[in-house]
Structures are given as C-alpha cells and as structure tokens.
Amino acid sequence: MAVREARPRSGQYDQTAGPVLIIGAGPAGLAAAAELGRLGVPAQIIERSDAVAASWRTRYDRLRLNTCRWNSMLGLGDRFEAGTPWFPVRDHAVRYLESFALRHDLNVRFGVQVDRIDPDAGGWRVSTSTGPLTAQHVIVAIGHQHTPWLPDWPGRDQFPGRIVHSRDYRNPDGFRGRDVLVVGGGCSGLDIARDLAQDGARRVRVAVRTQPNLLLRSARGVPSDLLAAGLLRMPTRIADPIGRMVQRMTVGDLSQWGLTVPDVGIFTRLHQEGSPPVIVGAEVIAAIRAGEIEIVPGVSAVNADGVRLTDGTALQPDAIVAATGYTTGLEPIVGHLGVLDEHGMPFHYRGPAVRPGLRFLGYAPCMGVIGRDARRVIRHLYRELTSPEAATATPEPARPAPAASIPEPAVSPEAARPASRP
Ligand SMILES: Cc1cc2nc3c(=O)[nH]c(=O)nc-3n(C[C@H](O)[C@H](O)[C@H](O)COP(=O)(O)OP(=O)(O)OC[C@H]3O[C@@H](n4cnc5c(N)ncnc54)[C@H](O)[C@@H]3O)c2cc1C
C-alpha cells in the first residue's frame, strides 16, 4: 500500500509505546515527524540548536539553492511563500522550513545534543547533553553534511594566513583586498569564489583537483535539477550525450580558463562514482571568463611557506577557503553498532531499519528527494507499528545500500558526496 493511501487507524498504534524519537530538526527530521503526525503516530524531535533548519540559517549570505523550488519541497502540500523565485535563496528555505514545522504542529525540544545511541531493553537508549532518553523507535536525521572535512595537509597549522572551511564562510567581510585561494571546484567553492571576486577580494583563485562536469542552474529556462532528474531515468548512453549537448550550449568551452570537460559523461560519473555535476549560476561562468576567478590545479601541500599545487607551483595567498566537503559525523554516535559503511554512511536510509527500531533519513542530496524518502521510511515504520507480524519478524540484516541508490540529481558537491572524504 502506498503511504499516500495510508490513513490514521486509531487504536492500531499502541500509544503506550511512546513517541518515535527523531534526532535533528532539519528538513529530514521535520518531514519524518510530519508524516508520522499524518498517520496519528506521536513524534518527539530533539535538536541540538535553538531553532529548526539550523544548518540552513548559518549558510553563507548569498547562497541560492541549486534545486528549483519544486524540487526543494518536502511534500504534504506545503509550498514556498508567494513570490519565491524559481531558485529560492537561503532565507526562503529557512522560512519554508519554519512554516512547515508550525503548520504541522511539530513537537521539538531544542538545545539537546545526542552523543551516542545504544541498545536498551526492547528499544534504544539515547545519551544526550541533557541526560539519557529511551525510545522503541529512533530516526537519526542529523544531516549528510554534518562535520566539515579539511584535508590533512602536512604543516597546515603553520600556514601564516587564515584557513576557513566553507561551512564557516558567511560573506566577503574580512577578505576585502586579500588574495584568497578557494580549494574545491564544486558548487560551493565556485559560488563562494564568485562572491569574493564580486565583493572586493584582490585576487581569487580556485584550486580544482578533479575537473567538474559543469551545468548552469537552468538551461534555456529549464531548471537543470529537473532536467537531470529526467535524464537520470534514461540509460547513460542516451543521457550522457544529452548532458554534454546541454553543457556545450550553456556553459561552453572554458578550456582556455583551465576547465576542461571531463571525458566521463555526467550520468556515467554519477552512477559510477556517486559524483554529481556541479551546478552554478551563469554569473560564475561569466566571472571565470572575465578572469575574475582563476582556475589552478589542486593543492598538494599547505604549510609555513604557503601553498603548493600539484603541478609544483607555489602560491602565497592571504587566506584559504576550503570547500572540501563534509563527513556524516555518525561514527561517534552509532559507529559501534555496525550500521555504517566505510564512508560513514548508514547501510539503509530510504526505508528499512538498520537494526530493529533504528532508522536513518536525510542521506540524499536534496530536499525534494528527502521528502520522498521520509514517506518511504515512515511507511516502513508504520507497517511495523501497526502489524504484529512485522513487529515480530526478524529484521532484515543490515547491508550496504546499492550504488544506484546513492546518486541523485545533484545540488552541491558536499550535498551529494556519499563518502566520508571528499
Ligand atoms: C552549501 C550547501 C548548499 C546546499 N544546497 C542545497 C540545495 O540547493 N537544495 C537542496 O535541496 N539541498 C541543498 N543542500 C543540502 C541540504 O543541506 C539538504 O538537502 C538538507 O538540509 C538536509 O536536511 P537534513 O535534515 O538531512 O540535514 P540538516 O539540514 O543538516 O539538519 C540536521 C539537523 O540535525 C541537527 N543535529 C546535528 N547533529 C545533532 C546531534 N548530535 N544531536 C541533535 N541534533 C543534531 C542539526 O543542528 C540540524 O538542525 C545544500 C547543502 C550545502 C552544505
């Protein structure tokens, strides 16, 4: 039965089982709680910060989503506020999530950080900053881009300038008049480089290790994330040439500025490596063509002498912005339970429990997909809660998610990176 058809069946859910405990009040946690509410199952969200959508609130000031608003909604009929452009900005996303939480009357306890989860008689013991909690069913939704990851460049601590992870970059204040090296040629790296170049950095270079498959946010009026979602369903021998044609028509040839089109097509790369195309605004491409952003090879060392690139060039930037990705941050919380793969990703995050009563949600790269995953996860949970057979059945053993379930239409380098290392 599709979850859309499921109706609250009062009496079937054993209320003495207590609420489902959801960790994290980001899009994934909110979507899960709203789906449970729709089915009459109580949910308690616990959140370490003091507001919903905490990760969105702290992103850089000029962030514009790479997913169009249709692909950035969690479902359940909630929409972005009237007047939101096709590609919302950060604050539209925050307001959308705030009103989603209000409209579904979600129960969130703020200021509670989860440190560890352990099995407990018939359920789970959740150790938090405010004391232990127990629950029969727990959903971990602490975010795919949880912990900033910085390459372990030998001598990094001796670098004389400032090193900032892209997570902590807000705006060009503090970088005006400076020579800045952005490390990482993904969506955030290129977007931040453009922000810096536009607003007063003296020189902006971007160190690119792997040539990105670039796409514009929209291709001749069609949002690229929707186009990619459609092409993703086709065989790569058809989708790759179409993707290449779109790249040629919109991004064009940037080889004289240091960006060459990778040999591997967009969708082959996505399927084989889980590495999505890099979606940027047209203004980023214009800044590269104008020489306001210079593309240089990847970084091999950062130390007291400055930066060395993989081609041997030495640079002495005043500051480094490391757009080098994130880890899931799940290891200290659930690593001892044997539910994570070698990249720190949960074995399941789209439906089944990894251990009886323990689920993960939010390990897909965009909110539209997370909303759909939430429906699947809650459908599984609801079946378990309301069917005695499901509740007593031996849970399926945890196993790695199939590779094909990892890649999704791309939004940002960090967003779609399934690995614990960039
Ligand atoms: C720069 C950037 C740009 C992006 N652009 C897009 C885009 O254009 N479109 C798009 O759809 N997606 C985008 N994403 C991905 C986006 O972040 C996700 O789609 C979405 O926010 C993931 O939702 P989530 O709830 O899984 O995680 P999060 O939004 O990260 O929420 C997790 C929540 O858990 C809380 N938490 C974390 N650890 C704990 C703990 N131990 N205890 C208690 N609470 C905890 C956090 O405070 C947070 O509130 C972008 C990501 C980045 C980094």
- State whether 289 and 315 are in the same domain: yes
- Number of structural domains, the chain? 2
CA distance 285 to 34: 40
DSSP count for the chain of H helices, then E strands? 12, 22
**Which two tokens mark 233?**
């369903």
* Region at 200 (left for phi over 0; alpha for psi -120 to 50; beta for the rest): left
Instruction: Report the nearest-CA residue for atom 23 of ligand 1.
Output: 27
What is the per-residue pLDDT for 388? Answer: 56
Distance of alpha carbon 357 from alpha carbon 335, whole angstroms: 16
Hunting for tokens 């291709």 — which residue is that? 219
- Residue 53 Cα to ligand 1 midpoint, Å, equals 7
pTM value is 0.90
Contacts of 414 (CB under 8 A, 6+ apart): 144, 145, 166, 186, 188, 323, 325, 326, 422
Encode 275-295 in three state secondary structure. CCCEEECHHHHHHHHCCCCEE
d(CA 25, ligand 1 centre) in Å: 9
Are 214 and 286 contained in the same domain?
A: yes
Atom of ligand 1 at shortest range from CA of 25: 49
Residue 15 CA to residue 17 CA, distance in Å, equals 5
Task: Indicate which residue's Cα is closest to atom 18 of ligand 1.
Answer: 366
- Alpha carbons 144 and 74: distance in angstroms, whole number: 16
The C-alpha atoms of residue 355 and residue 136 are separated, in whole angstroms, by 11
Residue with CA nearest ligand 1 atom 27: 143
**How far is 23 from 310, CA to CA, in rounded Å?**
41
Q: 3-class DSSP state for residue 420?
A: coil
Q: Which of 149, 345, 411, 417 has the most ligand 1 atoms within 8 A of CB, as the residue to mutate?
A: 411
Ligand 1 center to 130 CA (angstroms)? 23
Q: Ligand 1 mean position to 311 CA, how many Å? A: 35
Quick one: pLDDT at residue 389? 63
Q: Where are the alpha helices (DSSP H) in 222-326?
A: 224-231, 236-250, 266-273, 282-289
Q: How far is the CA of 399 from the centre of ligand 1 (A)?
A: 24
Q: What H or E segment, with its residue span, contains residue 57?
A: helix 54-57
- Domain final residue, candidates 324, 344, 373: 324
Based on the fold, state whether residues 118 and 154 are members of the same structural domain.
Answer: no
Asked if 45 contacts 89 with a C-beta cutoff of 8 angstroms, the reply is no
> Do 23 and 139 fall into the same domain?
yes
- Residues 284, 181 share a domain: yes
56 C-alpha vs ligand 1 centroid, how far in Å? 7
Give the tokens for residue 201.
């950095």
Ligand 1 pocket: which residues have CB below 6 Å? Answer: 23-29, 46-49, 54-55, 59, 65-67, 72, 113-114, 141-146, 188, 362, 366-367, 370, 411-412, 414-415
| Torsion of the alpha carbons at 184, 256, 319 and 279, rounded to the nearest 10 | -40
pLDDT score, position 412: 36
Token pair belonging to 31: 């979507």
DSSP lists the bridge partners of residue 166 as none
Q: How far is the CA of 26 from the centre of ligand 1 (A)?
A: 6
Tell whether 421 is covered by a domain: no
Domain interval for residue 54: 15-147+327-404
Residue minimizing CA distance to atom 50 of ligand 1 = 415
Looking at the fold, whether 296 and 200 belong to one and the same domain comes out as yes
Q: Are residues 297 and 251 in the same domain?
A: yes
pLDDT along the chain (422 residues), means of 10: 38 74 98 97 97 98 96 93 96 98 98 98 95 97 97 93 97 97 97 96 97 93 91 94 94 96 93 90 97 97 97 98 97 98 94 94 93 96 80 43 30 34 29
- Does 417 map to a domain? no
Query: Whose Cα sits closest to atom 11 in ligand 1?
Result: 366
Give the residue whose CA is nearest to atom 4 of ligand 1. Answer: 412
Co-location of 86 and 110 in the same domain? yes
Atom of ligand 1 nearest to the CA of 27: 25
- Asked whether residue 59 is assigned to any structural domain, the reply reads yes
d(CA 75, CA 70): 9
Measure 210 CA to ligand 1 centroid, in angstroms.
25
Q: What is the DSSP letter of 396?
A: P
| CATH number of the domain that residue 341 is part of | 3.50.50.60
Dmax over CA atoms of the chain, in Å, equals 70
Domain boundary among 264, 298, 324: 324
Q: What is the pLDDT of residue 365?
A: 79
Residues 273 and 193 occupy one common structural domain: yes
Provide the token pair at 63: 């962030």
* Residue at 413 is within a domain: no
- Would you say residue 255 lies in a domain? yes
- pLDDT score recorded for residue 402: 31
Strands 123-128 and 114-120: antiparallel
Calculate how far, in angstroms, residue 144's C-alpha sits from the geometric centre of ligand 1.
Answer: 7
Verify that 212 and 295 share a domain, yes or no. Answer: yes
Same domain, 104 and 252: no
pLDDT of 238: 96
- 126 beta partners: 117, 133
Q: Helix, strand, coil % (nearest 5) of the chain? A: 35, 20, 45
| Domain termination residue (choose one: 263, 290, 324) | 324
Which atom of ligand 1 lies at the shortest distance from residue 361's CA? 26
Q: Is residue 1 part of a domain?
A: no
418, amino acid identity: P
- Here the tokens at position 9 are 């069946």
Asked if 347 and 200 sit in the same domain, the reply is no
**Which residue's CA lies nearest to atom 37 of ligand 1?**
142
Asked if residue 418 is part of any domain, the answer here is no
Q: How many angstroms is it from 184 CA to the middle of ligand 1?
A: 20
The reply to whether 306 falls in a domain is yes
Q: What pLDDT, on the 0 to 100 scale, is given for residue 370?
A: 96
